[in-house]
Structure formats: structure tokens, C-alpha cells
Structure 1
Amino acid sequence: MCRWLMYHGKSIIMSELLVDPENSLIHQSIASHEGVVNVNGDGFGLGWYTKLNKKPGVYKDPLPAWNNKNLASIASHIKSKNFLAHVRASTGTPSTTTNCHPFRYKNHLFMHNGAIFNFNEIRHDLEYLIDKKYFKHRYGCTDTEAMFLLALTNGLIEDPKTAINKTVEQIFKIQQQNNVPQAIKASIAYTDGNTSYAIKTSTINHQPSLYYVNYEDMLDSLGMERQGQKYKNSYVVLSEPLLKSESYKYVDNHTIIKISENEFTIEKL
């Protein structure tokens, strides 16, 4: 499956997470430690917010992240207080730009690691539930994008927790109606640029892996200089740690994390 990370806090240069660490996200694209597969080479995507524009910038490519010099260059020149990054291991859909995460709707970004099991068997019924004002933004063919648009239909913008719960319930119901196992595996990142959410929900034990870490603690574990900055309210949520350290906290199944400027909460989904 895929690997991803989300940062929310004081502005940092994105390469500090995507490129520099020993087990950076780019490194995870070729040699992940905790994914179902080691290689996540079916494309990548990056979404970020700056003060210049409420609508996030997005950069995607269907080629592997480990061999893209443009990604490393861009990441070392953009400073952002909130960004999402994703390296993809396809579950069967084509490696195209439109299928790369994160997915964008206006000022909202969404990405996912995992799978809706037997998606092709239920795709028609699931997509039928998506409101037409959101369905016109269905550019690719992944289960993630379908989940995003269905969650928007269910009120993701107003109440992410309720919307994701309702979306998962609908998926289970459709799977049951089509006589396929009621199964889903998901770690989800969603943000509007002001508030970010990470959600883990799965019928497969504790998969997929997901962690969070205070950025200040992460800097200490990496031996990186803070340059006088305080990052007490800055956090990273990610598929796997950037190096071995006790600073990273494992996220249990059926959990939702909420991060805003001065708030970090974690509760059961």
C-alpha cells in the first residue's frame, strides 16, 4: 500500500520531511519498512498551503518519487505551515496523474492509504451515492477519490468525524448488498488549510500503520537545529517514522486526530 505524511504547524521547508531524514518519504517510495509492499513507485503527489493563496498548490507525477529531481528541488524551495505528501502503490488502478494523491476540491485536500475491498464490484453503487456537484470532480478511477467525494456528500467540510463514519457505513452496506466481504482498510488525511484531520479505520487488525509526532520532539530525535523557533504546536502524522525513535506515537484503529493552530486532540472514531 501507499505511504504518506501530513504536517500542520509553523511554516517549515518541506524538504525537512520529504527529503532530508534517513527514512524520508522519498526514501519510503523505494524502501518502506511497514507497508504491505516495500516499493511505492506508482506515482506521488504533494499539496501545500501558503499565505499567497487559500487554494492549495498541488504537484503530481505518475513516475516514481525516488527518481524525480523536480520533487526534491520544489520541496527545498517551498515553505508551508500545512502540507500533505503521498507516494503511491496502486491496488490495481492505472498509474496516471489523475490517480495520484492528494485529491483537491476547492481549498480541501484528501489522501488515503489502504483499500476498499472488492471496489470494482461495488464501484457503480458507491459512485451513485455521490452528489452530482461533487461527482463532476471525479477525474480518476481510484477508490480514494470516490471515498473523498462521497465523504464530501456526507458533510466532510462541516463535520469530518460524522462524514467519515457515515461513508464507511455506506461502503459496508453496499458490500453486503453485493455479497462481498464487508472490509475496508484506511488511514486518511484531510485538511482545509486551517484544520487538519488524520483518521484510521480498518477491519484488518491494526493495518495500515500510522503514527504522529510533535515536530519539536522530531527535531530533537533527528539532531536538527531549531534555529530559535518553537514548534510546540506543530505535528506530523505519517505512515511510518522517519527514523527509529520513541518520539513517534502509534495510532490505534478507529481513531481521529484533529490539529489546528493551538489544538491537538485524539479520540476514538
Structure 2
Amino acid sequence: MCRWMTYSGEPVLADDLLFRPVHSLIDQALHSKLGATTTNGDGFGIGWYGEGDVPALFKSTEPAWNDENLRELAGQIRTGLLFAHIRASTGTPVQRSNCHPFRHGTWMWMHNGGITGFPTIKRELVGAVAPELYPHIEGSTDSEVLFYLALTFGLRDDPPAAVERAVGLVEEVAAGAGIRHPVQMTVATADGSTTWAFRYSSVGRSRSLYHSTHIGQLRRMHPEVPVFGTLPDTARLIVSEPLRDMPDAWAEVPESCWGMITEDGRGEQHAFAPRRP
């Protein structure tokens, strides 16, 4: 499986988020504590919103801990909305087009998990993607197909409903093929101002997902942690696993739940339930 993180808030250097925390995402690439695999070395990607109309992406098939270009860029990229993902392939090739995040227009998407039996049901799922969206699929992963199904079902208008319909379709098609418990996912998606995160699995035992508690409170409680002093009060992080062994800094996202964080730091959580399309 994979590990990922999102940041939203006042612009900060990517280096402060990717490399400096004790158990940073780069450290998790080698030493994941909560993932299905300890090592996540099948490529990585970062996506960020900057000066352009669409988010920028930097993706590579190199292990994240061994890429000097990532280290160089992280010290220069300052952004208020960052996606970062380290990949452990579930069977599809290690190639750039299969690295997360995925992008369509102003939207980004990344996923940890998988669709059980994907090769068996791939044709039917891809066939459900809107004809005008189909040509934009570049890779061969279940994660990217899930993204384009969500776009097909209205991600740009109502992200939670669109993801519920996309997951509902996957479960319906899988059931028809005799596949039990097909969906395992934590997903993040953003449009440039708001970030949505989802935690769900058909079997009810989803991969780990956490969100940061109030940065100002953490700064007061833990003055010994330098990174808290660099983040603004509006900062919010969502992570596959905490960036430091500090229980009061992180809250687990509940099972079968979706949440959203706006650019001013406001957040909310709701129950997630797949919808049959």
C-alpha cells in the first residue's frame, strides 16, 4: 500500500513538511509503522497550488528517500496547499503515470488502498467513465480509474456524493463478479481551496488516517517541537500516519467517514456510505 499527507494553510516550505518532522513522509517511505508494508519505494509524487491556474506536479519512479531533485525542490516550493504521496505498488507497473497525485484541471487526487480483483472488473469500470474524460486516463492503476469515476459522477459539484457513487459502482460491479470486500481506501482530493479526505473499506477495517489538532494549541503544549513554531494557526494536516509519536497532536479519522478542510482552516466530518449509481 502507500502513505500520503496533505497540508492546507498559510504558505510554507515543502521541506518543513516533507523532511523535517521526526517521522516525516520521507522517513515513512523506509520505516512505515502503520502501513501494510514497511517500505514504500515504488515512486512518489508531490502536487501543489502555486502561481498557475492548475496545480503543479513532480513525480518520479525513484524512491523518495533517494531523489536529490525532490530535496532541491522541497527547499524552494512554498505553497498553501500541498499533496505528497509515496507509493507501494499493488501490482501495476512502477512508472511515472502510475504515481500519485493525479490531476484533472484544477483537481488533484491521491489514494492509499486498492480495489480487490481490479483486473477482473477493470473493463467494466473503465467503461463507466464519461467519454469526454476517458482520454485523460494516463496510467493503469485502480486509483486513477476511481478518480475518473468520481469525476464522472460529479466530483466538481459535490465531492462526497461523487465519491460515494464511485465506490458504490465498484462494489456493485465487484459483487456481480463474485468479489467480496472490493474497496480499501483512504483518499484525498482538492480543488485548490478546499481539501476533502475519505476513509472507507468494504470490510470495515480501513487503512489508517489522522488529522492534526489545532496548531496553536500544540505550539503552546510542545515548544520543544520546532516545526509547530513554523506553522500558522490555520494550518491543517491529514496524514496516513502521524509525523511524530505525540498522541495529543493527532486525531484518528473515524471509520467510514469523510471530512473537509477549507482554506481558512475550518473543518467538518460526516459519515461516508457508498451509493448504488
Match of 1:250 in 2: 252
**Partner SS, residue 199 of structure 1:** strand
Corresponding position: 1:60 with 2:59 = yes
Distance 1:41 1:83, change over 3 A: same
Letter in 1 for 2:258: I
Q: Shift of residue 198 of structure 1? A: 0.7
Match of 2:159 in 1: 160
**Partner SS, residue 136 of structure 1:** helix
Corresponding position: 1:107 with 2:106 = yes
Q: Deviations over 1:190-216 (max 9, x none)?
A: 001111101111124432000000444
Distance 1:99 1:81 in 2: 25
Structure 2: 5+ residue runs without aligned partners?
Answer: 273-277
What TM-score do the two structures reach when normalised by structure 2?
0.92
Q: What's the % identity of the aligned pairs?
A: 33
Distance 1:64 1:159 in 2: 35
Q: Shift of residue 107 of structure 1? A: 1.0
Given that 1:134 and 1:153 are in contact with CA atoms closer than 8 Å, whether structure 2 keeps it comes out as: yes
Given that 2:12 and 2:231 are in contact with CA atoms closer than 8 Å, whether structure 1 keeps it comes out as: no
Q: Deviations over 1:64-94 (max 9, x none)?
A: 0010111111111110000100000000000
Given that 1:44 and 1:88 are in contact with CA atoms closer than 8 Å, whether structure 2 keeps it comes out as: yes
Given that 1:54 and 1:193 are in contact with CA atoms closer than 8 Å, whether structure 2 keeps it comes out as: no
Distance 1:24 1:230 in 2: 15
Corresponding position: 1:129 with 2:128 = yes
Corresponding position: 1:86 with 2:85 = yes
Letter in 1 for 2:241: E
**Partner SS, residue 258 of structure 1:** strand
Corresponding position: 1:70 with 2:55 = no
**Partner SS, residue 80 of structure 2:** strand
Q: Deviations over 1:229-266 (max 9, x none)?
A: 77222200000001111210001111111111232111
Match of 1:261 in 2: 263
**Partner SS, residue 91 of structure 1:** coil
Letter in 2 for 1:67: N
Distance 1:158 1:83, change over 3 A: same
Report how many residues are paired: 267
Distance 2:6 2:218 in 1: 14
What TM-score do the two structures reach when normalised by structure 1?
0.95
**Partner SS, residue 55 of structure 1:** coil
Match of 1:18 in 2: 18
Q: Shift of residue 159 of structure 1? A: 0.2
Given that 1:40 and 1:89 are in contact with CA atoms closer than 8 Å, whether structure 2 keeps it comes out as: yes
Letter in 2 for 1:37: T
Distance 1:161 1:116, change over 3 A: same
Structure 1: 5+ residue runs without aligned partners?
Answer: none
Distance 1:249 1:210 in 2: 9
